[in-house]
Structure 1
Amino acid sequence: MAGMNWFWRALGGRQGRDQKRSLGLVAAAAALEPELAELGDAELAERARAGRDDAPALLAALREISRRTIGLRPFDVQLQGALRLLEGDVVQMATGEGKTLSGALAAAGFALRGSRVHAITVNSYLAGRDAAWMGPLFEFLGLTAAAIGEADGPAARRAAYAADVVFVAVNELGFDVLRDRGALATGERVLSPAPVAIIDEADSALVDEALVPLVLAGSEPGASPAGRVTDVVRRLTRGEDYTVDEGRRNVFLTDSGARRVERLLGIGSLYDAAHVGGTLTQVNVALHARELLRRDVDYIVRDGRVALVDGSRGRVADLQRWPDGLQAAVEAKEGLDVTEGGRVLDSLTIQQLIGRYPVTCGMTGTAVAAGDQFREFYGLTVSVVEPNVPCIRVDEPDRIYATGADAFAAVVAEVLAVHATGRPVLVGTRDVAESEALAAALAEAGVAPAVLNAKNDEAEAAVIAEAGAPGRVTVSTQMAGRGTDIRLGGADGARRGEVVELGGLCVIGTGRHRTARLDDQLRGRAGRQGDPGSSVFFVALDDDIVREGGAGEELVVQPEDDGRIRDPRAAAHVDRAQRVTEATMLSIHATTWKYNKLIGDQRDILDERRDRLLATDAAWEELAAAEPARAAEVEAIAGPAAAREAARGIMLHHLDEGWSRHLADLDDLRESVHLRALAKESPIDEFHRAAIAAFKGLAERAVAGARETFRSVRVTAEGVDFAAEGLGRPTATWTYMVNDNPLSGGSAVGAIAALFR
């Protein structure tokens, strides 16, 4: 970490200057500490409020308040982190350096300046934990803090969002935004305006999951592969009837495969108008489910249901599902009951969600590696805060093997060897299947590891807290964003000295991840606060990331008897493959951002009109001007108040229906627009042209539909029975996250399947 400063100075960027300035302000705050320690509580709180715009005074007061209320005296580096957050940066602080406290201090500073703060976390457990833990600090200052829980109803959410500092999981926040955007009355909304977002694990939320669409759906059966299609796909042969491009996550029907499908289904051409938007799509979705989605890797089956695995965190994503056709295809593949589909009412990406805040800042242990994305997509600058105590962890070079079987055997041998010394071992695996296979191999060798994966992630806090105990072996899928520090000697640190003497925590990775940031997050579990520790990754040349990123490159090396490869060219090949994979992901991010930005801009325009309809009598005025005789009749029958509510409900219904249809049309457009690439046209330019043209008529069509309904609908003093008129909301709505990236480019047939990723 210390070596990073020269890099920033060499670039002539603001990092070096900001570091020097921040250190000076923190030193000035330290000079005020003796004086503030003598003040009473009321005087200290007043000094904090008075100094809210004076950085040294504010930081000094917050340090003393933290010491008194939660028993933690912030280190200088934690004050530095809080300062950089207050100035709108993404702060890089190593694991175990106290990011939670830095975020709370910054939240208090923003709140004292009159800005409500959303402290955005990766899950609801951390939101509740942090609100309870840091609550006394805010209370001392006369500020309120609250957390949003998954089970909270509208009233509880409305009350929590009214607090000065709101701790909320990113998906819960996004779903509340979606529900508020569909409200039929201002009183139904739960959110209060908040200009500031402080994002924990910022690279996870802003980069890894930035393009994940959060979806509000209504209970209307959606298209899904029929059982007959699934049966036909089972009879196709890979390499003959279809090919798979795993790097681009696409499946391509061959010409002979298309003819075989046509013959088995008893239809004419898959590509004629009658089938291209239905049967062909279903075939491609079923192929995608068969070839590219793997049980115990991408999903698990639990209690007769398909549960998706969040690949970046190794947890079950309870609220996540694939678009309905793909979800149904996986269920059919596993022989489960196929769940009902639904019509998408609205959607929002996490990137669009965060873009709503005038001020955004965040914290993570691996910000520098995502600096390009922060700058390009959010206009954010990264600040590096050095560790309070220098890191002495030993990061060994990768151990590279010819095959996955060789690497697996070497991992088992290494775990057993380190375990024999008494050192605690943490093994980071890439998926559920791998974690279970490793646990079984270790158990057979006489070592019973604690296992943490998507099948038992409810045990997360307890498992991770004890991972630093002597002799403990922990096998976990993806450690990013786990949110619980590993203390040497166990949760209470009672045997810390013993573990320090042994060399600290040993971290072992069973393979490189798709980004170096995730590798670094795993490594960062050792070496906390100057603790001793070590890390090493075992990599096989047939790992997915190496094969995909290194495609087209020939590497001729000679493995040893145990499969290990010591040729330095192999290490260079692995590094290059990971960089290629990261570059591909960034390219996908940039392309998808261009699609989503236009949709987000269109939604902003729609929101302005919707807000005007909700808050004013604009709906009544428009309909009454267009249909004066009918307006007079309705007002005479129902009364002015009910007439205006009826007009508002009618207009909102048609506007929302129009947006839902528009989203469906854009999905169809995105599915087919890659065909333009065959004609040397730009898919993104063609998408923009068509999407803008489609949107232009949305409001006009909504008004025309509202006028037609207004002429015929029955209105009484009780208002309109919207359900009876077929104008109500769906009988059930639910929220979910669409898993995986929906775009990749590709050929005409492959692009259709690509939509459903």
Structure 2
Amino acid sequence: MALRDRLRRLVQKPGSIDLAPFRALVAEAGRRESRVRELTDAELTAAVAVLREEEDLAELCALGREAARRALGERPFDVQLIGTLALLSGHVAEMATGEGKTLSGALAAAGYALRGRQVHVMSVNDYLARRDAEWMGPLYELLGVTVGWVGQSSTPAERRAAYQAGVTYAPVSEIGFDLLRDRLATDPDGIVQPEPAVALIDEADSVLVDEAMVPLVLAGAADLDSADPRYADLVRRLRPGLHYSTDEEARNVQLTAEGTREVERVLDVDLYAPEHLRTLTAVNVALHAEVLLHKDVDYIVRDGAVKLISESRGRVALLQRWPDGLQAAVEAKEALEASPSGEILDSITVQELIGRYPVRCGMTGTAMAVAPQLTEFYSLQIAVVPPNTPCVREDRPDRLYATSADKEVALVEEISAAHAGGRPVLIGTGDVAESERLARRLRRAGLDPVVLNAKNDAEEAAIIAEAGAYGAITVSTQMAGRGTDIRLGGSPARGAGGAPAAPGTASAEAGGSDHDRVAAAGGLLVIGTGRYHSSRLDDQLRGRAGRQGDPGGSVFFTSLQDDLVTRYAPDERPKAASDDDGLITDKGAHWIVGHAQRVAEGVDLELHRNTWRYNHLIGLQRRELLAERDAVLNGDAADQTMAAEAAERHAELTGIAGADAVAAAARQIVLYQLDRCWAEHLAYLADLREGIHLRSLGRGLDPLVEFNREAVPAGKRLLGDARKRSVAAFEALTASADGIDLDSAGLKRPSATWTYLVHDNPFGSLDERALRGLINMFKGRRR
């Protein structure tokens, strides 16, 4: 290996790919720029069309750069084209905040579309999907590529049209929900989504890691799974310590002997008698809802409904709900009307959804921190794209305090000092309650903060865009405004679809003086009120400052009473004392915070792996059933089966109603029974997984092995059971010259369906508790 190559590999981040081939292509594109600039718009579009027949990445970059300059008023920097090439090579491009990921992604999407591959650009919400599709629309038009977008309010016709475009922007959840609905289609014309080709994922770390195991669910109408309000009233009167106890991490709660006696006295039942198992379950769920789920931390109440808060983002988790029993218990706790639950007809995790695409790529500002997961679960590598202008942000060491009270006093002092000099401050907090508590402290200190949390997330983009204004103080929960730039001096005028004004235009230059004034004050100061459970989330918060070479700074205020420390390092104690202000400078104490974060990251990774192992088996079984379903929906498999299995009845019905009517009836019967058997199988697997832990852990067995021992045979019976039911229903059909009476087959599908996401178990599954137990055992041995 040449010395130059060795040196390059030494400075390259471990786990990242070599950018040298991309740099060479970008350099060649630069040499072609003057020739491309001479083309008319029509000639440019025609030149792009040639790329459909031959792959010339340097030419794509040259034409794409010129198209962006003309259509958007933005000439992509070399590093943006490197990001584009990384995406076109099937990698995740790590690009810092403000470096133009949206434009890099659009050029890559166009490149894939020109090769004849339909591209789904997946975002984290409706706002970004529509904004980016409309913002990049003129670019796609000049490149001769069609574009569409899908949102929650899109009609089936609008969805079908959007998916026919070369590039479709949509939230990952909507793409998943459309897939689930397509899987229940009873007519080929009812399918809206094409076969998957390319997934280009924006905020890839959030989608591929944070949301990876979140199940997207399609449910069918059923009775309300309401919780008896008596249980909510009962547990509200129970006293901690006397009637119930919680574990060290406050993730589990259980009745004490005294609590059991009190519940039995009030309800007049033997709580642990087999015939009262349902009552025991209801009491336990109500107790979990009362003690472990906190308003303004785990959920808020808005418009008469419980809205869950995403732990990884600090925002309202749109469409998410807890498993039905727990959801109903929280609604009873808040004296709200029960929301519909229903039977799960099908579900898919985000990870399984992404895994369907033959080509996967993505972009984010923080990919290297999760490089092992991206490689392990998606076979993706990272291209670390350097910033166009070196980052000069000052990342100060953590300020560690003995207590939360000491930390909050110091926080107010730090924010007041920065504000006095006109410096804008963005404060990232852990939850809604903390954000509002800090805002009240700041107001008592004479400051006027803007609060952005799950209670006003609809205005998120507009609020965060102004966080860089002179003297601004913005208090936010966690991942505020991802995809929205924070510009020093405040946001410039914005065009259609929320697009930033083009550099060099009058609207963009209007804020120039304020930019200089804020830069002179030190730029945006980002303050974290505690370390998050992942260092990657810390880096994302830091990355809001120092955009495109601007000055800026970041600092985290932590305490030994933070949730991270008390949950993941409860037994660690610092050797050194704090000073009069509660500040701790001892390196050993700082190690405790880092250690707690590493334990949290390890727990999350193991949970991801364990959950994937369960879902992998379910995915294999689903794949087999879908292959059968596809043969029925798009072929004559159902008719052939009935002709073979119920030959006499098939011939009789054909003589009465005709071959076409019988084939259509057979198709509907088999589709119904396949869907029915699958819904019942999912319910069986859910019950099996819940119960398997108690049996296997008690005997010292591997829960996954025990789960597979029963789930695999059940899956193998699935198609056979559906076939038997189908034949029986077909035999019972009645017919006349007017056609087949399908009502006689009992094909009663749900009167209504809806979609939602199931929130991860907030208390930790038995898997998690067992894993944490092993971690605690390990820590005990180490000491």
2:177 and 2:419 map into 1 onto residues whose CA distance is: 45
Instruction: Identify the match of residue 196 of structure 1 among 178, 195, 198.
Output: 198
67-76 or 223-232, larger mean C-alpha shift: 223-232
Question: Does 2:87 match 1:67?
Answer: no
Match of residue 721 from structure 2: 701
Question: Does 2:748 match 1:728?
Answer: yes
Q: C-alpha displacement at 1:126, in angstroms?
A: 0.5
Q: C-alpha displacement at 1:742, in angstroms?
A: 7.9
State the one-letter code of the partner of 2:727: R
Secondary structure of the residue aligned to 1:697 is helix
Cα 1:46–1:490 shift into 2, 3 Å:
same
Cα 1:619–1:246 shift into 2, 3 Å:
farther
1:628-676 CA-partner distances (Å, limit 9, x unpaired)? 2322333334332222222111111111111111111111111011120
Q: C-alpha displacement at 1:320, in angstroms?
A: 1.1
Match of residue 347 from structure 1: 347
Q: C-alpha displacement at 1:479, in angstroms?
A: 2.2
107-116 or 225-234, larger mean C-alpha shift: 225-234
Runs of 5+ consecutive residues of structure 1 not aligned to the other structure:
752-757
Match of residue 538 from structure 2: 519
Cα 1:13–1:467 shift into 2, 3 Å:
closer
Is the CA contact 1:220–1:342 (under 8 Å) kept in the aligned structure 2?
Answer: yes
2:540 and 2:738 map into 1 onto residues whose CA distance is: 59
Cα 1:520–1:562 shift into 2, 3 Å:
same
Match of residue 650 from structure 2: 631
2:768 and 2:596 map into 1 onto residues whose CA distance is: 27
Cα 1:723–1:460 shift into 2, 3 Å:
farther
Match of residue 43 from structure 1: 43
668-677 or 227-236, larger mean C-alpha shift: 227-236
Q: C-alpha displacement at 1:8, in angstroms?
A: 5.9
Q: C-alpha displacement at 1:682, in angstroms?
A: 0.5
Cα 1:186–1:643 shift into 2, 3 Å:
same
State the one-letter code of the partner of 1:548: R
State the one-letter code of the partner of 1:291: V
Match of residue 755 from structure 1: none
Q: C-alpha displacement at 1:22, in angstroms?
A: 1.8
Secondary structure of the residue aligned to 2:623 is helix
Alignment of 1:309-328 (within 5 A): 309-328=309-328
Alignment of 1:61-460 (within 5 A): 61-221=63-223, 223=225, 225-245=227-247, 247=249, 249-254=251-256, 257-258=259-260, 260-268=262-270, 270=272, 272=274, 274-276=275-277, 278-460=278-460
Alignment of 1:431-580 (within 5 A): 431-479=431-479, 482-492=482-492, 493-494=511-512, 495-580=514-599
1:370 and 1:748 map into 2 onto residues whose CA distance is: 20
1:718 and 1:438 map into 2 onto residues whose CA distance is: 72
Match of residue 628 from structure 2: 609
226-235 or 285-294, larger mean C-alpha shift: 226-235
Is the CA contact 2:450–2:475 (under 8 Å) kept in the aligned structure 1?
Answer: yes
1:184-225 CA-partner distances (Å, limit 9, x unpaired)? 111111101231000000000000010000011111126554
State the one-letter code of the partner of 1:712: A
Q: C-alpha displacement at 1:254, in angstroms?
A: 4.7
1:7 and 1:507 map into 2 onto residues whose CA distance is: 33
1:281 and 1:163 map into 2 onto residues whose CA distance is: 50
Cα 1:633–1:15 shift into 2, 3 Å:
same
Instruction: Identify the match of residue 707 of structure 2 among 665, 684, 687.
Output: 687
1:150 and 1:546 map into 2 onto residues whose CA distance is: 39
1:387 and 1:12 map into 2 onto residues whose CA distance is: 15
Q: C-alpha displacement at 1:498, in angstroms?
A: 0.8
1:11 and 1:79 map into 2 onto residues whose CA distance is: 19
Q: Number of residue pairs matched?
A: 744
Secondary structure of the residue aligned to 2:216 is strand
1:521 and 1:408 map into 2 onto residues whose CA distance is: 22
Q: C-alpha displacement at 1:717, in angstroms?
A: 6.5
Is the CA contact 1:673–1:687 (under 8 Å) kept in the aligned structure 2?
Answer: yes
Match of residue 9 from structure 1: 10
State the one-letter code of the partner of 1:603: R
Question: Does 2:698 match 1:678?
Answer: yes
Q: C-alpha displacement at 1:533, in angstroms?
A: 0.4
Cα 1:10–1:68 shift into 2, 3 Å:
closer
Q: C-alpha displacement at 1:42, in angstroms?
A: 2.9
Is the CA contact 2:49–2:144 (under 8 Å) kept in the aligned structure 1?
Answer: no
2:74 and 2:768 map into 1 onto residues whose CA distance is: 59
Is the CA contact 2:224–2:339 (under 8 Å) kept in the aligned structure 1?
Answer: no
1:254 and 1:572 map into 2 onto residues whose CA distance is: 37
2:770 and 2:227 map into 1 onto residues whose CA distance is: 17
State the identity %: 54
Is the CA contact 1:9–1:15 (under 8 Å) kept in the aligned structure 2?
Answer: no
Cα 1:723–1:226 shift into 2, 3 Å:
farther
Cα 1:13–1:314 shift into 2, 3 Å:
closer
State the one-letter code of the partner of 2:709: R
Q: C-alpha displacement at 1:322, in angstroms?
A: 1.1
2:413 and 2:344 map into 1 onto residues whose CA distance is: 50
2:239 and 2:622 map into 1 onto residues whose CA distance is: 44
Match of residue 507 from structure 2: none
Secondary structure of the residue aligned to 1:315 is coil
Q: C-alpha displacement at 1:563, in angstroms?
A: 2.0
Runs of 5+ consecutive residues of structure 2 not aligned to the other structure:
1-5, 493-510, 772-783
Cα 1:164–1:24 shift into 2, 3 Å:
same
Match of residue 21 from structure 2: 21
2:626 and 2:575 map into 1 onto residues whose CA distance is: 58
TM-score scaled by structure 1?
Answer: 0.94
Tell me the C-alpha RMSD between the 2 structures. 2.4
1:742 and 1:111 map into 2 onto residues whose CA distance is: 41
2:448 and 2:734 map into 1 onto residues whose CA distance is: 70
1:461-497 CA-partner distances (Å, limit 9, x unpaired)? 2111111111111111122562110011111234111
2:570 and 2:163 map into 1 onto residues whose CA distance is: 49
Is the CA contact 1:212–1:741 (under 8 Å) kept in the aligned structure 2?
Answer: no
1:141 and 1:256 map into 2 onto residues whose CA distance is: 73
396-405 or 548-557, larger mean C-alpha shift: 548-557
Is the CA contact 1:723–1:729 (under 8 Å) kept in the aligned structure 2?
Answer: no
Q: C-alpha displacement at 1:143, in angstroms?
A: 1.3
Cα 1:467–1:717 shift into 2, 3 Å:
farther
State the one-letter code of the partner of 2:415: V
1:238-295 CA-partner distances (Å, limit 9, x unpaired)? 34444333648333445664555445433345263x444x333323322221222110
Cα 1:721–1:382 shift into 2, 3 Å:
farther
State the one-letter code of the partner of 1:73: R
2:742 and 2:769 map into 1 onto residues whose CA distance is: 42
549-558 or 116-125, larger mean C-alpha shift: 549-558
1:384-433 CA-partner distances (Å, limit 9, x unpaired)? 00110000001111111122222122212211111111111111111111
Is the CA contact 1:401–1:559 (under 8 Å) kept in the aligned structure 2?
Answer: yes
Question: Does 2:50 match 1:31?
Answer: no
Is the CA contact 2:730–2:745 (under 8 Å) kept in the aligned structure 1?
Answer: no
1:403 and 1:6 map into 2 onto residues whose CA distance is: 46
Secondary structure of the residue aligned to 2:409 is helix
1:657 and 1:95 map into 2 onto residues whose CA distance is: 47
Cα 1:698–1:240 shift into 2, 3 Å:
farther
Secondary structure of the residue aligned to 2:136 is helix
1:372 and 1:76 map into 2 onto residues whose CA distance is: 28
2:768 and 2:216 map into 1 onto residues whose CA distance is: 27
